[in-house]
Chains A and B, each alone.
Chain A
Amino acid sequence: MYTQSLFIPFSTIVIKEVSRFTRIWVQTILPPAISMTLYFVIFGSLIGPRIGTMNGFDYIDYIAPGIIMMSVINNAYANVVSSFFGAKFQRHIEEMLVAPIPVFVILAGYITGGIVRGFLVGTVVTIVALFFTDLHLYSFPITIAVVLMTSIVFSLGGLINAIFAKKFDDISIIPTFVLTPLIYLGGVFYSIDMLPEFWQKVSVFNPILYMVNAFRYGMLGESDISITHAFIMLIIFTITLLIVCLQLLNKGIGIKT
Chain B
Amino acid sequence: MSALEIKNLKKTYRNKLDALKGINLNVQQGDFFALLGPNGAGKSTTIGIICGLVNKTSGSIKVFGHDLDTATNAAKACIGIVPQEINFSQFETCLGIVLNQGGYYGIKRSIAMERAEKYLGKLGLWERRNEYSRNLSGGMKRRLMIARALIHEPKMLILDEPTAGVDVELRRSMWDFLIDINQQGITIVLTTHYLEEAESLCKNIAIIDKGDIIEDTSMKNLLSKLNKETFVFDLVDPIESLPELNGYQGRLKDPSTIEVEIERKNNINDLFNIFSKHGINVCSMRNKSNRLEELFLDLLNNNKTH
Interface residues of A (CB under 8 A from B): 1-2, 4-6, 8-9, 11-13, 16, 20, 86-87, 90-92, 94-102, 252, 256-257
Contacts of A95 in B (CB 8 A): 87-88, 97, 100-101, 104, 148
Residue among B66, B86, B103 having the largest count of chain A Cβ atoms under 10 Å? B103
Which stretch in B68-76, B123-131, B211-219, B270-278 binds the other chain? B68-76
Partner pick for A90 among B52, B54, B76, B89, CB 8 A cutoff: B89
CA distance A94 to B76 in the complex (A): 13
Q: A11-B103, A16-B100 are in contact. Are A100 and B55 (CB under 8 A)?
A: no
Q: Are A257 and B55 in contact (CB under 8 A)?
A: yes
CA distance A101 to B72 in the complex (A): 10
Report, as a range, how many residues of chain B touch the other chain.
35 or more
Nearest first, the 3 A-B pairs at minimum CB distance are A12-B103, A2-B74, A100-B73
Contacts of A9 in B (CB 8 A): 103-106
Contacts of A20 in B (CB 8 A): 91
Q: Are B81 and A98 in contact (CB under 8 A)?
A: yes
Minimum CB–CB distance from B77 to chain A (whole Å) comes to 5
The 8 A CB mask of B140-180 against A (1 = contact, 0 = none) is 00000000100000000000000000000000000000000
Contacts of A90 in B (CB 8 A): 87-90
Q: Are A99 and B90 in contact (CB under 8 A)?
A: no
CA distance A34 to B164 in the complex (A): 49
CA distance A91 to B87 in the complex (A): 5
Contacts of B100 in A (CB 8 A): 12, 16, 95
Minimum CB–CB distance from B156 to chain A (whole Å) comes to 12
The residue of chain B having its C-beta at the shortest distance from the C-beta of A16 within the complex is: B100
Minimum CB–CB distance from A189 to chain B (whole Å) comes to 37
Residue among B79, B91, B105 having the largest count of chain A Cβ atoms under 10 Å? B105
CA distance A64 to B91 in the complex (A): 36
CA distance A90 to B86 in the complex (A): 9
CA distance A33 to B91 in the complex (A): 25
Q: Are B88 and A4 in contact (CB under 8 A)?
A: no
Q: Are B108 and A98 in contact (CB under 8 A)?
A: no
Minimum CB–CB distance from B83 to chain A (whole Å) comes to 7
The residue of chain B having its C-beta at the shortest distance from the C-beta of A24 within the complex is: B91
Partner pick for A256 among B55, B66, B89, CB 8 A cutoff: B55
Contacts of B54 in A (CB 8 A): 256-257
Minimum CB–CB distance from A66 to chain B (whole Å) comes to 34
Q: A94-B53, A252-B55, A256-B53 are in contact. Are A4 and B106 (CB under 8 A)?
A: yes
Contacts of B53 in A (CB 8 A): 94, 97-98, 256-257
Minimum CB–CB distance from B155 to chain A (whole Å) comes to 13
The residue of chain A having its C-beta at the shortest distance from the C-beta of B86 within the complex is: A91
Q: List 25 A-B contacts (CB under 8 A).
A: A2-B71, A2-B73, A4-B73, A4-B77, A8-B106, A9-B103, A12-B103, A86-B89, A92-B87, A94-B87, A95-B97, A95-B101, A95-B148, A98-B51, A98-B52, A98-B53, A98-B81, A99-B101, A99-B104, A99-B105, A100-B74, A101-B73, A256-B54, A256-B55, A257-B48
Contacts of B88 in A (CB 8 A): 90, 92, 95
Contacts of A86 in B (CB 8 A): 89
Partner pick for A2 among B48, B66, B104, B108, CB 8 A cutoff: B66
CA distance A12 to B97 in the complex (A): 11
Contacts of B72 in A (CB 8 A): 100
CA distance A221 to B266 in the complex (A): 98
CA distance A119 to B160 in the complex (A): 42
The residue of chain A having its C-beta at the shortest distance from the C-beta of B74 within the complex is: A2
Q: Are A96 and B77 in contact (CB under 8 A)?
A: no
Extra 5 A-B pairs, beta carbons < 8 Å, given A90-B90, A98-B76, A100-B72: A12-B103, A16-B100, A90-B88, A95-B148, A256-B52
CA distance A96 to B91 in the complex (A): 17
B13 at the interface (CB under 8 A from A): yes
B85 at the interface (CB under 8 A from A): yes
Contacts of A97 in B (CB 8 A): 52-53
CA distance A96 to B74 in the complex (A): 15
Minimum CB–CB distance from B175 to chain A (whole Å) comes to 24
Q: Are A96 and B13 in contact (CB under 8 A)?
A: no
The residue of chain A having its C-beta at the shortest distance from the C-beta of B90 within the complex is: A90
Contacts of B77 in A (CB 8 A): 2, 4, 100
Minimum CB–CB distance from B81 to chain A (whole Å) comes to 5
CA distance A4 to B76 in the complex (A): 12
Q: A98-B51, A98-B52, A100-B76 are in contact. Are A12 and B104 (CB under 8 A)?
A: yes
